Amino acid sequence: MTKYGLIGYPLGHSFSIGYFNEKFRNEGIDAEYINYEIPSINGLVEILETTPELKGLNVTIPYKQQVMKFLHAVSPEAKAIGAVNVIRVEHKGNKTFLKGYNSDVIGFTKSIEPLLEKYHQKALILGTGGAAKAVDYGLRSLGLETLFVSRTKKKDAVTYQELKPKHIETYNVIVNCTPAGMYPRIDECPDLPYEAMNNHTLLYDLLYNPDETLFMRKGAAQGATVKNGLEMLLLQAFAGWEFWNTAD
């Protein structure tokens, strides 16, 4: 039986395991998707050594950047982003070949593009991790200027304390790439001047549990357009399956 899986720590709720195992049952595919919760990225070595049937992996936090040192090849997009969330595993004789891709950028770009209007020229990206880097790549590919927002002072980013209403008015696309507001901590949200938002503001939350985060609700109350990350996840899953099963 072919195996696929997810590496990360901690994993908790996983969209992928339910999605792929249901897909395998519905389509009669002789395969299984497994969650590999590893406290260190070095656990990847044991997974590869003990699972010869493994054909592909998804990668989630905190390993989207750390995993790159184990790969033999990386797609141009993943290299530019500096983060990988899909790995194709190929067995060539007694050697294992790993190629990394980034489906975050595909899922996000296809999901947000229909919502963008001419007045959406600049975007704030909340967070600086692997997903935020993919979002940055995707937004810039769509022609938007971007600015990262970080909890701590970093090069090429502003802090939440430095954000003023004028930033919200100018950077009227705001993408949450942080876990703030994710179940069970649903009463949390990024610290923003929400009062400066209006019907030209677009809030996109990569989270999908709960369906509507406090970040989204506070924006919607000011007239903003809001969207969660569920469609992005589905589009990522489609892209990941293609990466695993289509040679390039």
Residue 98 pairs in a beta bridge with 89
Tally Cβ neighbours within 10 Å of residue 232: 26
Residues in CB range of 215: below 8 A, 6 or more apart: 176, 180, 181, 189, 190, 192, 203, 205
Tally Cβ neighbours within 10 Å of residue 43: 15
Q: Angle between the 130-141 and 104-112 helix axes, to the nearest 10 degrees?
A: 50
> Which residue of the set 64, 99, 133, 218 is catalytic?
64
Question: Among this protein's residues, is 118 annotated catalytic?
Answer: no
Helix (H) or strand (E) holding 48: helix 43-50
Strand order across the beta sheet in which 54-59 lies: 31-37, 2-8, 54-59, 86-92, 95-101, 73-74
Q: Which residues are catalytic?
A: 64
